[in-house]
Amino acid sequence: MLHGDFGRSFQWNEPVSKLIAARLPLTIVISLFTLIFTYVVAIPIGIYSATRQYSIGDYIFTVVGFAGLATPNFLLALVLCSFFINILVLAPGVFSRLIIN
C-alpha cells in the first residue's frame, strides 16, 4: 500500500488504483463545489445575523443552522436521494450510473 499498489478489485477485477483514479476527479469537483456553496451561503447569513442581532431572521437562521448541525449526514443524504428520485422523477440508480460511467 505504501508503494501505491492497492491490489485488485474483487468486483471489477481491475487494479484498485485505476478505479480510484477514475473517480477522484468527480470527487474533487463535488468537494470544491460544496466548499464554495458553503461559503457563498454562510458568509451572507453570518453578516445578516451579526448586523441584525435578535431579529426574527437571526432566530430563523439560528434554528435552521442548529437543525442542520444536529441532522446526521447519512440521514440527510437519504432524504435528498429520496427527494431527487421521487419528486424530480429520476430513475433509481441514476447516481451510481453517473459515478460508474
Q: State how far the Cα of 79 lies from the Cα of 33, in Å rounded to an integer.
A: 20
Residues 18 and 54 in one domain: yes
The number of residues in the chain equals: 101
Residues 77 and 66 in one domain: no
Residues 77 and 62 in one domain: no
Mean pLDDT, the chain, integer? 86
Q: What is the reported pTM?
A: 0.66
Domain count, the chain: 2
For the record, the C-alpha cell of 56 comes out as 426574527
**What local confidence, expressed as pLDDT, does residue 48 receive?**
96
Q: State how far the Cα of 33 lies from the Cα of 30, in Å rounded to an integer.
A: 5
Q: Which domain holds residue 86?
A: 73-101
Q: State how far the Cα of 63 lies from the Cα of 69, in Å rounded to an integer.
A: 10
32-81 pLDDT per residue, tens? 999 999 999 999 999 999 999 999 999 999 999 999 899 999 998 888 87
pLDDT band at 100 (very low <50, low <70, confident <90, very high): very low
Residues 78 and 35 in one domain: no
Contact 5, 17 (CB under 8 A): yes
Residues 90 and 60 in one domain: no
More confident residue, 19 or 86: 19
Residues 63 and 85 in one domain: no
Residues 30 and 65 in one domain: yes
